Structure 1
Amino acid sequence: MLTFAEYFAGIGLVYEGLKKSGWKPVLANDIDVKKQIIYEMNHGSDHFLLKDIYDVDPSTVPFATLATASFPCTDLSLAGARKGLEGAESSAFWGFIKILKGMKHRLPPIVMLENVPGFLTSNKGKDFLDVIHSLNELGYRCDAFQVDASYFVPQSRQRVFVIGALANLIPEMNNSSIRSTRLRPKVLEKLISDNDMNWGEFPLPELPTRLPRNSLINVLEDIPEQSELWWKGDELSKLLDQMSDKHRLIIEEMINADETTCGTVYRRMRNGQVRAELRTDGIAGALRTPRGGSSRQFVIIAGKGNCRARVLTGREYGRLQGVEDKFDLSGVSENHARFGFGDAVCVPVIEWISDHILHPLALKI
């Protein structure tokens, strides 16, 4: 049986991505009780452990074929203070390593890490290399690649994945091998080529064709124009006033068009001022956790002389992460749902990795 232990499990979207390949969870660990609620609503409570990862006793962790860790990105992200793996949150990665070391002869044969692209440049690449070194020391040969969720869903979401496998399961990297730059950007290629570590390489196909430009409209809920969720008065005017002249002109063109089109808007701080930045390529920006108003994403619909905007709903956040509508959110507040999905993985990306790496690897064990 294919089994996995999921650390920093959140609301369980790694589980969502693995279950179609037949993977079964033996442990899900997280410290956030609000995420636990959504996780257990959808995946049950028998294997969920609400505990700080540093407090998890390795001797109590069941053996699993795979261990996954989507460790906190806060101190690695380009948007943060970039304290790296010594930061208050991202340092939780070392709690994961502590568990692996404590498991000794019960090490999972495969591990998968996931984080933001800033992981590659944090402390000038040292943090990424420290992670690889820590896995190498445990006997894992490592491959790394970057995937943009926009090849699977209408959301631009670049994420770095590290796959480690006990050395007998993965071929050593061939120095002449060159992976597509869509999967291995230059910064990652240089980190690998310049550092003599125990690298491996999995055969990966090209990513699928990107979704058509109008895909975003397909994830939006059918909310009547009369709904109070839509901004039409002062709130809408304030949002438009926060746009640059260039983006305001695009909105005017959308309003005057004969067809209705949609875009997304994020509020960001630019030179000390709040700016509403418009995106109209049919792809939403990367979802984030709505700890503050600036991190919420808005949809704006315009055409035939009209314009309206609103915050994306929790269900829409889920759809942008590739989650089916049968995922239970009953009784969950909108902000609670947005937070859970905004701090999660894209389900079809995990499915793709499982189909092409994790499942074939597991069959070798």
Structure 2
Amino acid sequence: MARAPRVPKAAQIEAAPAEPDLLDNAPPPRETTRLFGHAEPVARLAAAFESAPPQGLLFEGPKGIGKATLAFRLARALLSTVPGTPLAPDLASDPESRTAHQIAAGTHPGLMHLTRPYDEKTKRFKGDLTVDVVRRIVPFLGSTSADGGWRVVIVDAVDDMNINAANALLKALEEPPKRTIFILIAHVAGRVLPTIRSRCRAIRLRPLTEAEMRKALATMDVDPSLAEAGEGSLRRALILAAAGADVVHTARRLLTRTALTDVRHHHQLAELGAQRKDDQFATIVDLVLDAMAARVRDGAGRLPLAALDAYAAAYLEATADRRRVEVFNLDRKEVLLSLCDRLAAADRAASNPA
């Protein structure tokens, strides 16, 4: 569901790196001082730094739930606190401090943020977090930290690394200098090398509750009715908001099992997604995929395997069709009509199992 990446305001400053996967309707995590949800892991983190500070943390959880925001919140707290002083229980720090402004600009000397690099030749971000990027850790850790304070390395995301980059990170994790903390962000925990995981304290972050989502969306002037569709991911809700709450609610209504029995609704949905408005087609396809995934979850343990396989096949075909549209510029309406037909056929198979 990723929109076209943008370069954050901070990237206008020479020392600030460009960041992939940012949204036009939300500030980058380095600039975000509010964290929604995750009260329990935040409290545990604050207590850990008072008793036995870890050298490596692994923030795991679905994309868009606040892992990077928490990483920068912790970095801001560590780099703002006088050595020997305990962190605030909620990891709060002065958002107007010099440290906070430096972190927002990407210029704090005690913080290194590693992401997939931007390729000037192709004018897009690379698919991997490369070994050349990870090797920057060595000179960074070789420098002297200010006032004996912390040095913080945020790797966002560790599951974007290729094998060479992962091995380079592993070497850096083996013997870090004192008062150094690695914060690794993982969207898919299974992609993290066991050797890297073993050197980190894993912090599992859960999707936000609907109440937390509503509160967050309200503060960002986004329709709170998208909280349910966001499924615990603020990022997902913001992407849906770009298409418009009315479009999302209409599409979700047209994708119910009952609605899909009427072919006229197939055409309504296809017309909606065929409009060349921002990423509306991508949003509608994602909602179709969500509907397929939800039917599998609802039918697990209840429907026969053949019925679940029908949904799985439709899901794979839908993802392939979305890619073909991007590559070959196919007719969007025809693609969406085909997706609706496949989902309706899978619904019929599930309703009349052999």
Highest Rg: 1 or 2? 2
Structure 1 or 2: more strand by fraction = 1
TM-score (norm 2): 0.32
TM-score (norm 1): 0.31
